[in-house]
Amino acid sequence: MEVILVRHAIAHERNHRRWPDDSQRPLTEEGVRKFRKAARGIAACLPTAPALLTSPYVRARETAALLGKVAKLPKATECPELAASESAQRGFVLLRTRKERAAILVGHEPWLSQFLAAALGGAEARLRIEFKKGGAASIEFKNEIEPGQACLHWMIPPRFLRALRHGGARQQQ
């Protein structure tokens, strides 16, 4: 299974008066504008017919919706396993329930870095990974969807995703 990891775009700063529940914090206008461009770059790198799965937090759902619109994907499925408060190990369980050959996971830090570290290095891996807001990575599980069984294909920060042209990456493959 190919798995694309996407960190949510730039969201408003934490503000307990405006959003007493941090899960309700939305994207900023700048975040929407920048991610719309980055989404074109991500779309150029996507496998065929991926499932679009998102954290239930507003900022992740908004990011997934932008990516879905740009990449012409079906509506995202909310998955509580991808919430910022969850263990990254729940991501493996979630992926094992999926029938698709590819999935996009839209989520948060440190969840994404922890999941990526575990996928590449095993459950106890302590890799330092900087996952920028609006950035993406691609890993592949050839056989079992287990810690330490993934291969990293690419990891691209948002500014480089914004520079990609739609279709360019697929044409080179």
Q: What is the pLDDT of residue 149?
A: 97
pLDDT for 165: 61
| CATH C-level class of 2-172 | alpha beta
Question: What does pTM read for this prediction?
Answer: 0.93
Question: Residue 100, exposed/middle/buried by CB under 10 A (0-12, 13-18, 19+)?
Answer: middle
Distance CA 63, CA 104 (A): 12
pLDDT for the residue 119 = 97
What confidence score (pLDDT) does residue 72 get? Answer: 96
Helices then strands (H, E): number in the chain?
A: 6, 6
Which pLDDT score, from 0 to 100, does residue 126 have?
Answer: 85
Instruction: Report yes or no: 79 and 53 within 8 Å, Cβ to Cβ.
Output: yes
Give the bridge partners for 102, in sequence order: 2
Per-residue pLDDT tens, the chain, 173 aa: give them: 999 999 999 999 999 999 999 999 999 999 999 999 999 999 999 999 999 999 999 999 999 999 999 999 999 999 999 999 999 999 999 999 999 999 999 999 999 999 999 999 998 888 899 999 999 999 999 999 999 999 999 999 999 999 986 544 443 33
Give every CB contact of residue 27 below 8 A, 6+ residues apart in sequence.
8, 9, 10, 11, 12, 35, 59, 62, 63
Q: How far apart are the first and last CA of the chain?
A: 18
Domain boundaries, given as residue ranges, for the chain:
2-172
Beta carbons within 8 Å of 160's beta carbon, 6+ residues apart:
41
